[in-house]
Amino acid sequence: MTNGLDATTAQAWEAVGGTAGLAAKVSYQSAGEVLPAVLPVRELARATVGVCSLAAAELLAARNGGSVPGVRVDEAAVATAFVSERHLRVNGREATLFAPLSGFWRTADGWVRTHANYPHHRVRLLEALGIGPGEGRGGAGPGTGDDRGAALVGPLTEALAELTALEVQERVYAAGGLAVAVAPDRDRGSGAHRQPLAEIREEEEAGGRRLPSAPLPATGVRVLDLTRVIAGPVATRTLALLGADVLRVDPPGLAEDPDSHIDTGWGKRSTLLDLDSAEGRSTFQSLLDSADAVVTGYRPGSLERRGMTAEELMARRPGLVVAQLCAWGWSGPWADRRGFDSLVQAARGIAAAEAGPEGRPGALPAQALDHGTGYLLAAGVLRALAARQTDGRGRRLRFSLAGTADWLLGGVVPEPAGEGPYEAADWLARTPSPHGPLRHALPPVRYEGSPRTWASPPSPWGTDRAVWRGDEGHRA
């Protein structure tokens, strides 16, 4: 057991606006060589969970008075949570992680990484390369378990081998698909434009409500969750653990991967709103009028095109905390591109750093950019709410997978692993749910008196009403 912020946690705490006075509140319990990698993944993982736990403890003290509770970061809990999707069992069934056409592929001059877990991305990848008759843009619904792409592995291999990596990258991107050239070092491709770990801007106008005393840090906090896949949903899953009323909002025509939704849906509710319709926009604005935070992670530009920039949201709701998430950062040549953890690893130089002796690109032992960014984002929201208790002002927060990748490559400080046993089973639980019995990872965010698990299992996707808890009787 060690006490006090390590160098990496201190960096992250400063990035989310934390002050040095709380450093002694954190202790670490080692678990040996968990999350082993060339790069310091264990250190990144425990730092992001540590700052999130500390931010939760700080907000609880800001609401209730008194001292900030102590925080304990257990590396075993962190390691288990960082691969929560791998531990998930739904009625005994394992979750499926990557589709057949998602992965590393040789090109004429190197490697590319593709992402084709969703039917529309798979279709566009194939169309860009002139493969197959096309499967229809609707597909059979999302899900990495859809194995229709397996028969096309051979044709895809042949097509990619005839093109350079950059030719594949740009051709697929132009078609609306997802593929990136694997950077052979840390300075190629999108990695040339370094991104910050976090960006925080305080709004001039006050108006946010002061949160009353409560048993949990985020009790009564209302959060609109406009995120998908892993990073954003991990952040809002964490806010739900800490007592927030989190309402996830999705468009009706773009279903989420079922396993991903279950893994990250704990404690939240899920509703569908068509933001292109007058009715959908009106409902969203009604929800916004009493929201404390909005967390966004939709594709770049999608909310802006609908008149929902951060500035517009905050102008309508003074004191609002707006936390924004993207893949490639908020400036630079790739700022408007879609992306996923695996693609950022490839383009940023992480896949090269983790390559095997034969030169094939490698991957981190977890979707560490996703999970780490998720805990940082949750920490940012919690810190912003704590600051609002004093000044009433909202904050705009920006995070990116690329910023977390750059931090891993050049900022995270390696620390020797301590001794300690690690059994993932110690950090797993079984819970009944509308999806059937679930086996799942327990949350790693811990402070003195924190909840051990979520108050409710994940709702089925899109089945909840677009209304805050407690307001059910006021809206049809």
Q: Name the DSSP letter for residue 84.
A: H
Can you give the residue range of the structural domain that contains 177?
97-191
Indicate if 315 and 394 belong to the same structural domain: yes
Whole-angstrom distance, CA of residue 216 vs CA of residue 449? 9
**Bridge partners, residue 200, by sequence:** 397
Q: Which of 177-186, 224-233, 287-296 has the lowest mean pLDDT?
A: 177-186
| For residues 129-133, average pLDDT | 81
Higher pLDDT, 375 or 137: 375
Both tokens assigned to 129: 């390369």
Indicate if 437 and 455 belong to the same structural domain: yes
Do the domain assignments include residue 358? no
Whole-angstrom distance, CA of residue 72 vs CA of residue 26? 6
Q: Which of 191, 224, 253 is the last residue of a domain?
A: 191
Higher pLDDT, 2 or 36: 36
Residue 188: what pLDDT? 43
Please enumerate in sequence order all residues whose Cβ is within 8 A of that of 319, keeping only pairs 6 or more positions apart, or say none.
Answer: 203, 205, 206, 207, 208, 209, 388, 392, 393, 394
| For residues 152-174, average pLDDT | 95
| For residues 120-145, average pLDDT | 66
Confidence of residue 20 (pLDDT cuts 50, 70, 90): confident
Whole-angstrom distance, CA of residue 283 vs CA of residue 252? 14
Q: Which of 144, 175, 191 is the last residue of a domain?
A: 191
Residue 90 has pLDDT above 50, yes or no: yes
Confidence of residue 256 (pLDDT cuts 50, 70, 90): confident
Confidence of residue 299 (pLDDT cuts 50, 70, 90): confident
Both tokens assigned to 159: 């097509």
| C-alpha 392 chain-centroid distance | 27
Confidence of residue 186 (pLDDT cuts 50, 70, 90): low
Residue 73 has pLDDT above 70, yes or no: yes
Indicate if 129 and 66 belong to the same structural domain: no
Contact status, residue 65 vs residue 97, Cβ threshold 8 Å: no
How many other C-beta atoms lie within 10 A of the C-beta of residue 50?
30
**Average pLDDT over the chain, rounded to whole?**
91
Both tokens assigned to 256: 């989420």
392 half-sphere exposure, CB direction, 13 A CA radius: 7
Confidence of residue 438 (pLDDT cuts 50, 70, 90): very high
Residue 254: what pLDDT? 80
Q: At what angle do helices 341-348 and 401-410 cross, to 10 degrees?
A: 40
Both tokens assigned to 110: 């190197």
Indicate if 405 and 291 belong to the same structural domain: yes
Tens of pLDDT along 309-347? 889 999 999 999 999 999 999 988 898 898 999 999 999
Whole-angstrom distance, CA of residue 271 vs CA of residue 464? 5
Indicate if 110 and 226 belong to the same structural domain: no
Whole-angstrom distance, CA of residue 452 vs CA of residue 446? 8
Helices H / strands E in the chain, number of each: 15, 17
Tens of pLDDT along 393-432? 999 999 999 999 999 999 999 999 998 889 999 999 999 9
Tens of pLDDT along 263-296? 999 999 999 999 999 999 999 999 999 999 999 9
Q: Which of 78-87, 130-139, 239-248, 306-315 has the lowest mean pLDDT?
A: 130-139
Residue 201 has pLDDT above 60, yes or no: yes
Indicate if 374 and 269 belong to the same structural domain: yes
Indicate if 113 and 210 belong to the same structural domain: no
Do the domain assignments include residue 378? yes
Do the domain assignments include residue 61? yes
Do the domain assignments include residue 335? no
Residue 460 has pLDDT above 60, yes or no: yes
Q: What is the pTM of this model?
A: 0.94
Do the domain assignments include residue 302? yes
| For residues 15-30, average pLDDT | 87
Indicate if 380 and 299 belong to the same structural domain: yes
Do the domain assignments include residue 275? yes
Residue 258 has pLDDT above 70, yes or no: yes
Confidence of residue 117 (pLDDT cuts 50, 70, 90): confident
Residue 453 has pLDDT above 60, yes or no: yes
Whole-angstrom distance, CA of residue 380 vs CA of residue 375? 9
Tens of pLDDT along 202-220? 998 888 889 999 999 999 9
Indicate if 124 and 225 belong to the same structural domain: no
Contact status, residue 429 vs residue 442, Cβ threshold 8 Å: yes
**Amino acid (one-letter) located at 383:** R
Do the domain assignments include residue 342? no
Q: Name the DSSP letter for residue 80.
A: H
For residue 254, what is the domain's CATH number?
3.40.50.10540
Higher pLDDT, 31 or 25: 31
Tens of pLDDT along 343-365? 999 999 999 999 998 889 999 99
Indicate if 452 and 320 belong to the same structural domain: yes
Indicate if 265 and 200 belong to the same structural domain: yes
Indicate if 17 and 149 belong to the same structural domain: no
Do the domain assignments include residue 24? yes
Residue 138 has pLDDT above 50, yes or no: no
Residue 475: what pLDDT? 44
For the chain, the domain total comes to 2
| For residues 112-134, average pLDDT | 87
Residue 97: what pLDDT? 80
| For residues 173-192, average pLDDT | 77
Please enumerate in sequence order all residues whose Cβ is within 8 A of that of 188, keeping only pairs 6 or more positions apart, or say none.
Answer: 181, 349
Residue 133 has pLDDT above 60, yes or no: no
Contact status, residue 259 vs residue 87, Cβ threshold 8 Å: no
Q: Which of 165, 191, 217 is the last residue of a domain?
A: 191
For residue 141, what is the domain's CATH number?
3.30.1540.10
Tens of pLDDT along 140-153? 344 444 455 778 99
DSSP run (H or E) holding 398: strand 393-400
Residue 1: what pLDDT? 60
